[in-house]
Amino acid sequence: MEKYKVGVIGATGMVGQRFVTLLENHPWFQLTTVAASPRSAGKRYEEAVADRWAMDAPIPQEAKDLVLLSAQDDVAQIAAQVDFVFSAVDMKKDEIKALEEDYAKHECPVVSNNSAHRWTPDVPMVIPEINPEHIQVIKDQRARLGTKRGFIAVKSNCSIQSYVPALSPLREFGIEKVLVCTYQAISGAGKTFQRWPEMVDNLIPYIGGEEEKSEQEPLKVWGRVENGVIVNAEGVSITAQCLRVPVSNGHTAAAFVTFKNKPTMEQMKEAWASFKGRAQELALPTAPKQFLHYFEEPDRPQAKLDRDLEGGMAVSIGRLRPDSQYDYKFVSLSHNTLRGAAGGGVLLAELLCAEGYIVRATSAPLETA
């Protein structure tokens, strides 16, 4: 098949670097354009990231000689030469909102890792296995923006990827209350131990804005489409504590849950084992074959052992047991820069392509119901 031409804006940061590595040898997508801040514009990609490359894999050959454009100043040029962009820019929230809308209005679809548009009512915030139906609001968003091809779709915060996938198959039992504590890796702050030595042998019991996201974003993911916008789920109460821990990659969550109709532990494990989503039905290239993995061992999941399961796109669960205050408690883990960030973005883009919402710029846009 002819590959989609893809750009990454914010390509020099940690999530941008992850997008660049994931696009290497992708069966559907070809990286053709990279963009970053105006101060990086004009540099070769390899030169711009040479002293801050944070990935274990080397810089992909196809990216090394790409000349960086300005994500802010070269919108029209970038939009004209790609089929869509991934957004991982590091700017103020209002600036990001305006920039992503500018790309969309230039008829360039935007798949964003940023939080700026997560609460825009007609912007879908999608975990492809859980709420793929939310992408249908794109037609209403296009009507608001006055576009034919352009739109914005976002992925959720990295923290909720560690526990919302585990909770989602259990909603059939009527989830009422959730308490969750997240233990979040330093890469979630765009850091390595070399660049943040203060985190060695340390724990910081605060991550700005993270608890609000962890409590509220699941309600949009579990919400419904109504009159062209997404309406939050009701009847579920979530409270969260979020801590930064000295782990390079992998967000862990300790979750406590109470149900309206309390299941058995066997029913919960079966719900996890049998759960498949639209990403698996479509056999999308980045989708894990088994989305949720349950470990019976008492010391699993572990970040170092389990974060890379199924290419870092699966979610690991363990330590399910009854609780004295809630019905049950368990621990779950996801790779925060793969499933939780760039990998989740690539999977979302695959879903949007497969469902006809992203089409090649040379093709007529498809009408989607």
Residues labelled catalytic = 158, 251
* Pair 358, 349: CB distance under 8 Å: yes
Computed from CA positions of residues 77, 83, 86, 87, in that sequence, does the dihedral angle turn out positive or negative?
A: positive
Residue entry with tokens 């039905």: 281
Cα–Cα distances in angstroms (integers) from residue 166 to residues 107, 144, 218, 230, 264, in the given order: 36, 35, 12, 22, 15
Pairing mode of beta strands 152-154, 224-226: unpaired
Residue entry with tokens 């309600």: 219
- Token readout for 112 is 């964003």
* Pair 272, 169: CB distance under 8 Å: yes
Q: How many helices (H) and strands (E) does the chain have?
A: 13, 14
Query: Running DSSP on this structure, what letter comes out for residue 28?
Result: S
Distance CA 86, CA 345 (A): 7
CB-neighbour burial class of residue 297 (10 A; exposed 0-12, middle 13-18, buried 19+):
exposed
Residue type, 254: A
- Token readout for 287 is 């989708």
Rg (CA), the chain: 20
Distance CA 292, CA 289 (A): 9
Q: Which helix (H) or strand (E) holds 344?
A: helix 343-354
Long-range contacts of 196-203 (CB under 8 A, 24+ apart): 199/244, 199/246, 200/246, 201/246, 202/246, 203/243, 203/244, 203/245, 203/246
